[in-house]
């Protein structure tokens, strides 16, 4: 998350959907694409975790299978055998995803035990999993 191009690469699919790519990328469009390619070329799966007040965790997983890469947003609880798929990005979004209130609550809870406690970083990590077609005006 500390690399300069990470956020541009992470928000790549979301920007394409919202036609915000020029605003988001500017002159770094090609560099962000190259960085995203490097993320998916790793043997390990980069994973980010956000704890929730209910004891659940959201895991953002960069699935790096060759020819089947994508970003999965998983909901898990320690008592569960398997995680539930909230959303996935594989060149397109598949949900249900998170509602705006759910996203804001997860981003702003500041609970320890995740990848970061910074609400702005959590919001950006979760933004591509937003399932609302029409979030509220204050979003």
The model's pLDDT over 24-73, given as tens digits with 9 standing for 90+, comes to: 666 566 777 777 777 777 778 888 999 999 999 999 998 887 777 788 99
Residue 2 phi, psi dihedral angles, 5° rounding: -85, -5
- Alpha-carbon torsion, ordered 120, 57, 13, 102, to 10 deg: -70
Instruction: Record the pTM.
Output: 0.81
Higher local confidence (pLDDT), 102 or 7: 102
For the chain, how long is the longest CA-to-CA vector? 46
Side-by-side strand order, sheet with 84-89: 47-51, 57-63, 70-76, 84-89, 93-94
Predicted confidence at residue 106, as pLDDT, reads: 94
What is the Cα–Cα distance from 115 to 101, expressed in whole angstroms?
21
Look at residue 126 and tell me whether its pLDDT is greater than 90. yes
Query: What does the mean pLDDT of the chain come to?
Result: 82
């Amino acid at each position: 998350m500390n690399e300069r191009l990470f956020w541009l690469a992470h928000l790549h699919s979301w920007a394409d959907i919202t036609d915000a790519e020029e605003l988001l990328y500017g002159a770094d469009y090609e560099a962000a694409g190259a960085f995203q390619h490097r993320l998916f070329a790793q043997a390990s799966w980069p994973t980010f975790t956000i704890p929730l007040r209910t004891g659940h965790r959201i895991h953002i997983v960069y699935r790096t299978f060759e020819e089947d890469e994508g970003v999965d947003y998983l909901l898990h609880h320690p008592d569960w055998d398997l995680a539930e798929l909230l959303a996935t990005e594989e060149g397109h979004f598949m949900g249900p995803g998170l509602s705006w209130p759910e996203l804001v609550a997860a981003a702003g809870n500041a609970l320890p035990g995740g990848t970061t406690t910074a609400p702005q970083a959590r919001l950006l990590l979760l933004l591509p999993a937003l399932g609302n077609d029409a979030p509220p005006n204050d979003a």
